[in-house]
Structure 1
């Protein structure tokens, strides 16, 4: 997985092996061997690579995500891909346990469903959404009062 992840991450950034090798402080040949799976970088180099790509070392080494048959690169820190869900006959979905745990979602929690015609659907806890709206209204009112 490491070799594949290195190739995907480098290509996503539109970089050459030479450019990444320079950032890490190694030769292009050494970096090429990592991408080919011939050798494995030490922990220090893995740390540099992970920081350079904005991902965790664990994701760099172990992440093997796919959407359907398409393999995707590790997500940046703070971003997640928990897999696919299937919509039931009444529109219900099951939110993966890891997602529920990450966002502390419990049975009975209320979620707001947001949508964008071009981008898709997003979920947010209703209490968090309400707090964000109230804060936006407060800032808007504050700016209006400053103009007066």
Structure 2
């Protein structure tokens, strides 16, 4: 899968084999061999390759386009599938999404909306922790300025 994923992601990023090779620190011929399936990158090069292509090493090695779509999602981005909203507005969050984001029964989620970009769910505890961190950082900056 590395060979086809490497080629697909490189093209999606608009990179030539030479440009990708330069960013990873290998020769163009090395990238060509990876894409032809004649060799595979070692762990260090695979990690650098995944970093340049904006995916995890796992996605680079195991992503199957026929199962999930055309191009793998960028690192940290997920597509969990669709959910259906019930008559009273309820919906079920897919198991994999709950596992990735550590959502447990009884957790409170904050629903955010932007008419141009859509809806987002955020764990309330994470959101409140971010607000507290922001307040501390702003307080520290105010102290530095003598305010």
Of residues 68, 84, 89 in structure 2, which corresponds to 1:87? 84
**CA offsets per residue over residues 58-102 of structure 1, 9 Å max, x none?**
11110236797x4222422xx131421221333333222222123
Distance in 2 (alpha carbons) for counterparts of 1:26 and 1:139: 41
1:52 and 1:122 mapped to 2: Cα distance?
Answer: 28
Change in 2 beyond 3 A, CA 1:141/1:19: closer
Counterpart secondary structure, 2:110 = strand
Question: Which structure 1 residue ranges, 5 or more long, are not aligned?
Answer: none
Q: CA RMSD in A?
A: 3.1
CA distance in 2, matches of 1:109, 1:14: 41
Choose 117-126 or 39-48, whichever is displaced more.
39-48
SS in 2 for 1:114: strand
How many Å separate the matches in 1 of 2:15 and 2:110? 39
Cα distance change, pair 92–4 in 1 and its aligned pair in 2 (3 A): farther
With normalisation by structure 2, the TM-score equals 0.72
Distance 2:86 2:21 in 1: 51
Q: Is the 8 A contact 2:55 2:74 kept in 1?
A: yes
SS at match of 1:47: helix
- Is the Cα contact below 8 Å between 2:34 and 2:41 reproduced in 1? no
Distance 2:131 2:102 in 1: 21
Q: How does 1:119-130 map to 2 (within 5 A)?
A: 119-130=117-128
* Distance in 1 between residues matched to 2:142 and 2:25, nearest whole Å: 52
1:103 is aligned to 2:90: no
Unaligned runs of 5+ in 2: none
CA distance in 2, matches of 1:137, 1:25: 42
